[in-house]
Amino acid sequence: MTINPVFTDATPVSAVDAERQFLDDALAGLTAPQKFLSAKYFYDAAGSDLFEAITRQPEYYPTRTELGILDAQGAAIAATLPARANLVELGSGSTAKVRRLMAHRPDLAAYVPVDVSESFLRSEAEALARDFPNLAIMPVAADFTRAFTLPDDLPEGPVAGFFPGSTIGNFEPPQATNLLAHFGRVLGAGATLIIGVDLVKDKAVLDAAYDDAAGVTAAFNRNLLVRFQRELGAELDLAGFAHRAFFNAEASRIEMHLVSLKDQAIRIANRRIDFSKGETIHTENSYKYTIEGFRTLAGEAGWIAAEVWTDPDHLFSIHALRRA
């Protein structure tokens, strides 16, 4: 069972295909012995808003910590980008982080945010264009795990990548290696990749970060069920499922699940899917790395670790990698 597969040889997906893919993936995942769904399905418009709300919760340290590193070390981090770079941000979401790099690099040739959450991608790109009227902003709505192409009219110049937020942690290590190799092929020879990676830490801190007291992460997780209802016409009892998140130290990952609170059946596209009480849908992994562990993984994907920055408490890391 692979929660976030990486298909590097697939063709691009149209909006209609994407909807069909959601149904196919939902049925495949929900009929597996351990029910599961790819974490990319969290991110419709509501899911992107819920993720942004998560980043403001006191328990969710990654975003504010990574922003703190970018504030403190932004000049050095931005200096790893080549002159007049075309900067491609993978899973861009809110543009808060890239703005910290742009502040140091007014020479960027173009900014290419890539995200599967299309309406959020467009609104963030429009807001950025208002603040940076002279920068070419070229959004690409795509699943970055699949074959996707950079805009044809990208200005001449080197291409660099930015992959913040520890989204790499949402892939199992072999899939993460495939994804980084895939990014290497998309960005091209000699590319630089600046990537945010969450670090291993105390279980209590991790458990709280993924189960905030205000219930925002729970709503983010349960949004998958809402999408089943709205987009796939599923018949299900929302109150019959609960959010569960915990750090699995042996696997060095947070696991998120939706737990069935009773014996029940749901219906999707005329298929009946049975749940016993306590059975779960495994909805996300969020792997936590050591600096050395991540460097090894990046090396297996053909990237050389150039530099790394952390916060004073060593909660989070930002790596500059170069394509071998």
Shortest Å distance, C-beta 234 to ligand AVI: 22
Q: Measure the CA–CA gap between 291 and 44, rounded to whole angstroms.
A: 32
Q: Which is nearer to ligand SAH, 115 or 255 (CB)?
A: 115
Instruction: Give the angle 251-286-214 at the CA atoms, nearest 5°.
Output: 125
Q: Which is nearer to ligand AVI, 105 or 171 (by Cβ)?
A: 171
Q: Which is nearer to ligand SAH, 143 or 172 (CB)?
A: 143
User: Which long-range contacts (C-beta less than 8 Å, at least 24 apart) are formed by 91-95?
Assistant: 91/115, 91/116, 91/144, 91/163, 91/165, 91/167, 92/121, 92/124, 93/48, 93/51, 93/52, 93/117, 93/120, 93/124, 93/165, 94/52, 94/55, 94/124, 95/124, 95/125, 95/127, 95/128
Toward ligand SAH, which CB reaches closer, 275 or 289?
289
192's contact among ligand SAH, ligand AVI, none, with CB below 5 to 8 A by partner kind, is: none
Binder to ligand AVI among 145, 170, 175, 178 (CB under 6 A)?
A: 170
Of 165, 187, 255, 294, the one binding ligand AVI (CB under 6 A) is 165
Q: What angle do CA 100, 103, 106 make, to 5 degrees?
A: 135
Nearest 5 degrees, angle CA 169-CA 56-CA 63?
35
Binding site partner of 286, from ligand AVI, ligand SAH, none, Cβ cut-off 5-8 A by kind:
ligand AVI
Asked if 38 touches ligand AVI (CB under 6 A), the answer is no
Note whether 211 binds ligand AVI by CB under 6 A.
Answer: no
CB of 241 to ligand SAH, least distance (A): 22
116 interface partner picked from ligand SAH, ligand AVI, none, CB below 5 to 8 A per type: ligand SAH
- For the chain, what's the residue count? 324
Q: What is the 3-state secondary structure (H, E, C) of 270-303?
A: CEEEEECCCCEEEEEEEECECHHHHHHHHHHCCE
Binding residues among 252-311 for ligand AVI as defined by CB under 6 A = 284, 286
Are 69 and 310 in contact, with CB atoms under 8 Å apart? yes
Q: Is 167 in the site for ligand AVI (CB under 6 A)?
A: yes
Pick from 169, 206, 208, 316 the residue near ligand AVI by CB under 6 A. Answer: 169
State the binding partner of 144 from ligand SAH, ligand AVI, none, CB within 5 to 8 A by kind: ligand SAH
CA nearest neighbour of 80 among 165, 190, 198:
190
Q: Which of residues 213-232 bind ligand AVI (CB under 6 A)?
A: 217, 220
Residues that bind ligand SAH (CB under 6 A): 40, 43, 48, 51, 63, 91-94, 97, 115-117, 143-145, 164-165, 167
Alpha-carbon separation of residue 131 from 86, 95, 103, 136, 319 (angstroms):
18, 11, 11, 12, 27
The dihedral formed by the CA atoms of 165, 318, 131 and 119, expressed in degrees to the nearest 10: -20
Contact of residue 54 among ligand AVI, ligand SAH, none (CB under 5-8 Å per partner type): ligand AVI
* Residue range at the interface with ligand AVI (CB under 6 A); choices 80-88, 116-124, 167-175, 298-306: 167-175
Residues found near ligand AVI in the complex (CB under 6 A): 54, 62, 165-167, 169-170, 210, 217, 220, 284, 286
